[in-house]
Amino acid sequence: MTNQCPAEKLRTMVVLALTLLLIFSSSFTIAQSRTHNVRQGDTLWDICQAYYGDSNLWPKLWEMNQFVTNPHLLKPGDVLTLFEMEEPAEGKVAESCQKDAVSVEERQGIDLSGFTKPEAVGYLSLVNVEGWGFIEGATSSKLRLAQGDIAFVRFEKNADTVREGQEFSITTVSPMIRHPLTNRPLGHIVATRGILSIKERIKDAHFRAEVSKVFSEVDVGSLVMPATPNSSCVRPTVTDPKLYGNIVALKENQQIIGQFSVVYLDSGFKDGIKRGGVFELIKIITVPSPNLNKDSFQEITAKVTEKLKKEEYLADFWKKLKEGEKIYEASVGKIMVLEARPDSSTAIVLSSSHELARGAFVKGVSWTDIPDYLVSLPSCPLE
C-alpha cells in the first residue's frame, strides 16, 4: 500500500467532503416542501392551474391545507403547502404498455354530463358563505336575467384583481338548514344559478359583465364568486366498509331522492370521502323485513338524538349492524361523489331501488369486478 503525500490526502478529503455536502444538499432540497404565499385574489383552483396546469386538482390542495375555510376567498399572507406531482418513470411506462387492458380500464371515468351539469351542482357549506360581490343591476328592465343579458357587478372584495374575461359563478345561499335526524343547525346550501363573464371595468369596484350560462333563476342581487372548475368525467373508486354519514339535503330543496338526484352529505375529506368515491345508500330498519314501510323512522331518530355527535351514533349503528343487534340495514341505492370539502360533499345518485328522503345513511362499498350499475353508464377518457 502506497503512502499518500499530505497534499494528496488533503485533496482526497476535500473531494470527499464536497461529495457528501452535495448529496446532503440534494436530499434536503428534495425533502423540502414547496409552498405558495397567498396573494390577494388567489383561489385554490388558480394556484393549481399555475403550478400544475390543472385547476381540477384544487380539492387535493385543500386536503393539504385544511386550515383553509373558503377555497375562493384565501387570506393574503397565508402559506399553502404544495403537493408533489408523481411523474411516471421510464420503467413504469414500459410496464404499463404490457398491461394495456388494465391501463385502459384505469383511465376510464364515468361521463355524468348527460345526467347533471357538474358546474351547477352546488354544495353544502358549514361555514358562513362570502362572495366577492353581487349583481347590482342589469340593462334589462326585468329583475330576472337570461343568457346574453348584460349585468352590472359590484365587487366588495378583490376588485383590483378582477380581470377581463374572468368567469364568476352566480350563486344564492339558502337559509340555515337543520340535520334531518338530530335537528341541529348544520349549514347553508350554496346554489349555482349561472355563470357570468367580466367584460370591462367601469369605475372603481363596478364592472360590466355578460351572463354566459343560466342553470336556474338568476336575479339581481345574486352573489358572485370565482367559478369552481368541476369536470364531468369522474373515476369511480371503492370505499371502506363503514358508515360515513347521512344525506342531509338535496339540490333545489327537493324532498324525494331518486336516480340522478344531486344530494349533499354531512361528511367530507376529513372523514375519508373523496371525489369519485362510490357509496351505498342504506335505510336502517328496526325489523328484518324487506317491507320498508314497517320501519319506524321515529325510533331511529330517537336513537340518533340520544347521541348528538355524528361519530358516536355512526359507530353505535355500525356495531349493531355488524352484530345483527336490534337494527338492520336495507340497501336502497348507490351514489358517487362529485366534490368533497372538509366537512361536506356533493354526490349524484347512480341507482335507486326505493324512494328515499333526507336522512338516508351512507355506507362504503367495494367490488372485485366493476358492478353493473357502473358498466351501464357512459364512459369517458380521464386526463
pLDDT digits (tens, 9 = 90+) for 171-208: 999 999 999 888 889 999 999 999 999 999 999 999 99
Q: Above 70 in pLDDT, residue 100?
A: no
Note whether 180 and 248 are within 8 A (CB): yes
Tell me the CATH number at 155: 2.40.10
Same-domain status, 170 and 201: yes
Helix axes 297-306, 310-323, angle to 10 degrees: 130
Residue % of the chain over a pLDDT of 90: 53
Determine, yes or no, domain membership for 221.
yes
Q: How confident is the model at residue 104 (pLDDT cuts 50, 70, 90)?
A: very low
The pLDDT value given to residue 261 = 92
Mean pLDDT of the chain: 83
C-alpha cell belonging to residue 14: 476535500
Residue whose grid cell is 377581463? 164
What is the chain's length?
A: 383
DSSP string covering 181-243, please?
Answer: TT--EEEEEEEEEEEEEEEEEEETTEEEEEEEEESS-EETT-EEEEPPP--SEE--B---SSE
Residues 237 and 214 in one domain: no
Please tell me the least confidently modeled range out of 94-103, 128-137, 329-338: 94-103
**Residue 344, in any domain of the structure:** yes
Task: Judge whether 148 and 154 are in contact, CB under 8 Å.
Answer: no
205 and 340 together in one domain:
no
Give CA–CA dist 192/174, Å, rounded: 11
Same domain? 213 vs 255: no
Q: Taking residues 131-144, what's their average pLDDT?
A: 88
DSSP letters of 264-304?
A: EES--GGGT--TTBEEEEEEEESSS-S-GGG--HHHHHHHH
Asked whether residue 96 is assigned to any structural domain, the reply reads no
- pTM score, whole prediction: 0.82
Answer yes or no: do 28 and 63 share one domain: yes
SS3 state at 5: coil
Higher pLDDT, 164 or 368: 164
In a domain, 110, yes or no: no
Inform me whether the pLDDT recorded for 102 exceeds 60: no
Residues 316 and 372 in one domain: yes
pLDDT of residue 21: 55
Domain boundary among 172, 200, 226: 226
Q: Average pLDDT, stretch 335-340?
A: 95
How does residue 383 score in pLDDT terms, banded at 50, 70 and 90? low
The total of structural domains in the chain comes to: 3
Nearest to 234 by CA among 334, 304, 339, 151: 339
Q: Taking 80 as the threshold, does the pLDDT of residue 339 lie above it?
A: yes
Q: What percent of the chain has pLDDT over 70?
A: 78
- Under the banding of pLDDT at 50, 70 and 90, the label for residue 300 is low
Does 78 fall in a domain? yes
CATH of residue 78? 3.10.350.10
- Residue 273 belongs to some domain of the structure: yes
Q: Which residue has the higher pLDDT, 213 or 142?
A: 213
Supply the Cα-derived Rg of the chain in whole angstroms: 26
Task: Read off the C-alpha cell for 36.
Answer: 405558495
222 and 274 both lie in a single domain: no
Residue 167, classed as helix, strand or coil, is strand
Residues 376 and 242 in one domain: yes
Q: What is the model's pLDDT at position 272?
A: 92
307 lies in a domain?
Answer: yes
Does residue 93 form part of some domain?
no
Q: Which of 207, 226, 245 is the last residue of a domain?
A: 226
**What band does 103 get if pLDDT is binned at 50, 70 and 90?**
very low
User: Do 272 and 162 reside in the same domain of the chain?
Assistant: no
Mean pLDDT within 251-280: 91
C-alpha grid cell for residue 98?
404490457
Euclidean distance between CA atoms 56 and 74, whole angstroms: 17
Candidates 259, 279, 215; CA nearest to 377 is: 259
For the cut 50, the answer to whether the pLDDT of residue 54 exceeds it is yes
Residues 362 and 295 reside in one and the same domain:
yes
Same domain, 287 and 375: yes
Range with top average pLDDT, 76-90, 134-148, 339-353:
339-353
**Residue 101 pLDDT grade (very low, low, confident, very high; cuts 50, 70, 90):** very low
For residues 249 and 191, membership in a common domain is answered with no
Between the two ends of the chain, the Cα-to-Cα distance in Å is 61
Instruction: Assess whether pLDDT exceeds 60 at residue 27.
Output: no
Which domain, by its residues, includes 55? 10-83
Beta bridge partners of residue 189, listed in sequence order: 124
Domain edge (last residue) among 187, 209, 226: 226
